[in-house]
Amino acid sequence: METPVTPAANHPIPVHPGLPLLGNSLDFVRDPLGALRMYRRLYDQDDGRHIVRLSVGGRIQQLVFRPEDAKQVLQENHRNYGRSPAFQVLKLFLGEGLLTSDGDFWLRQRRLSQPAFHRRKLAILAETMIQEGYYWVEQLSAVAGSQPVNISQSLMDTTMRIVCKTLFGADAGQRLNQDLSYSLEMVNYLANKLLIIPVRFPLWVPTPDNLKFKKATRLVNQLIYGFINARRQTGARHDDLLDMLLYAEDADTGERMSDLQLRDECVTLFMAGHETTAVSMGWTLYLLSQHPEVLQKLHEEVDQVLGGNQPLTVDDLRALPYTGQVVQESMRLYPPAWIMSRLALQDDRIQGYTIPANTSVLVSPYLLHRDPVQWPDPDRFDPDRFAPGCDKERHPFAYIPFGAGPRLCIGNQFALMEMQILLALFARRFTISAPPVSPPGLQPLITLRPKQPIRLVIICR
Ligand code: HEM
């Protein structure tokens, strides 16, 4: 057996050649996932080297491949890693919400927000998810038949309705829905553009992008401050996330969040919680369309637990483990957050290499989830990988769809519950007649979207 190479101190990290000025940015513009796979092929070596240095968006970024290294960055040495400059772009829109803030401010906000996602609170929010799930299935029944249904759009609408209701107790009326969808779409598009080519005029310069950005922010602010003001004026209490955030108190000072903090947290929850879940559910149904044997097993579980028209309750979810496994396996193959980046605050050592302060480290759930060492036959869809006891051989960081360490997604249980509910209700009512004629293709923006909407022919059972 060959002895792995332990790089000597100061041994340079392998650098992937790039173009003058642009570095490796074009790889990420053309085909980011293809680029990630290529980097792994070239730099995830059996000889002990598992890292490559890239230059993307004018910044030095080290891409790591091993779960141990992801663990070091996200958990063990997390204090040395802050939000990367990429988050500055999102900050323009999200302000100092949980996703974009750092340090003591982040910690305080996280402590204030965490109780809103407690298991008991989630059980209340699950009722809303179930109601909206029924509504979704009814809508789909009306269009089920021989024509393909735009599943991606119907899921975007549904997760939007769920997030509106669980966050603000509000029905996603047409204007709310349109304004928020427009704004989120716009910010997503502009943020992606800036992440890859970070040439930006200050916001006061009336470029077309700046004008669109300002319009999106204005619309969102009007809506969110509208909700906050209405609550402050009436003082009425509600069973929703905004209520929990409004009344959350700092344990040391007794202080509550200001309107601005509330606005930033609400927009963040909205942005982080709506599209990720919709996209993930879309991939789940797409995978099921390709794997009738898995759909069959799912039907059997759902029929056994829920019967024909027994109402679904939160307690039923525990009796639907296979439904949960299908969701988990789909997030393995198509993790909505396909890449995460961190900024090294001080020098660090990874695999004996120096990670210089002020450079970024990239951790890709997409690559980790398809690592053949951790996942035999990694591209195969097999929900039994998540059957009880099957994770013994795997490194815990081989599967991180919700991130890991202290910055673990605060909405992970919320999202899993929502997807399990939607999938169970879908499977009870429908079957999928065949996969789409042409596969939808992947478009990795901030989330791992399909290039075209997923359209499926669904049939009532
Ligand atoms: C399938 C659905 C979801 C996926 C895959 C997902 C994924 C992630 C990931 C990977 C992170 C960590 C990012 C990093 O460390 O850089 C994160 C953070 C976060 N997510 Fe989610 N998320 C999902 C749903 C949700 C939902 C439903 C909510 C809220 C209702 C939410 C709210 C947040 C927030 C606030 C953060 C920042 C947490 C912090 O830094 O303290 N997410 N999410």
pLDDT at 6: 53
| Residue numbers of the chain with a pLDDT score lower than 70 | 1-10, 172-175, 194-200
pLDDT at 67: 96
- Dist. CA 272 → ligand 1 center (Å): 6
**Is residue 415 within 6 Å of ligand 1 at its C-beta?**
yes
Q: Indicate which atom in ligand 1 lies nearest the CA of residue 269.
A: 29
Residue whose Cα lies nearest atom 18 of ligand 1: it is 409
**Is residue 282 within 6 Å of ligand 1 at its C-beta?**
no
- Dist. CA 174 → ligand 1 center (Å): 26
pLDDT at 3: 42
pLDDT at 196: 62
> Could you tell me the two tokens for 77?
């040495």
Other beta carbons less than 10 A from residue 443's beta carbon: 14
Spatial distance between the Cα atoms of 375 and 393, rounded to a whole number of angstroms? 10
Q: Which residue has the tokens 């005029």?
A: 201
- Dist. CA 230 → ligand 1 center (Å): 27
**Is residue 155 within 6 Å of ligand 1 at its C-beta?**
no
Helices 321-333 and 259-290 pack at an angle, to 10 degrees, of: 100
Spatial distance between the Cα atoms of 14 and 203, rounded to a whole number of angstroms? 38
Topology of the domain comprising 25-460: Cytochrome p450 (1.10.630)
**Is residue 98 within 6 Å of ligand 1 at its C-beta?**
yes
pLDDT at 198: 59
Known binder of ligand: residue 409? yes
Q: Indicate which atom in ligand 1 lies nearest the CA of residue 101.
A: 40
- Dist. CA 278 → ligand 1 center (Å): 13
- Give me the residue spans of the domains in the chain: 25-460
**Is residue 244 within 6 Å of ligand 1 at its C-beta?**
no
Mutate to test the pocket of ligand 1, among 88, 101, 161, 409 (most ligand atoms within 8 A of CB): 409
> Could you tell me the two tokens for 452?
């075209």
Residue whose Cα lies nearest atom 24 of ligand 1: it is 273
**Is residue 411 within 6 Å of ligand 1 at its C-beta?**
yes
Other beta carbons less than 10 A from residue 410's beta carbon: 20
> Could you tell me the two tokens for 209?
């992008």
Residue whose Cα lies nearest atom 43 of ligand 1: it is 409
Residue whose Cα lies nearest atom 26 of ligand 1: it is 273
- Dist. CA 265 → ligand 1 center (Å): 12
pLDDT at 1: 38
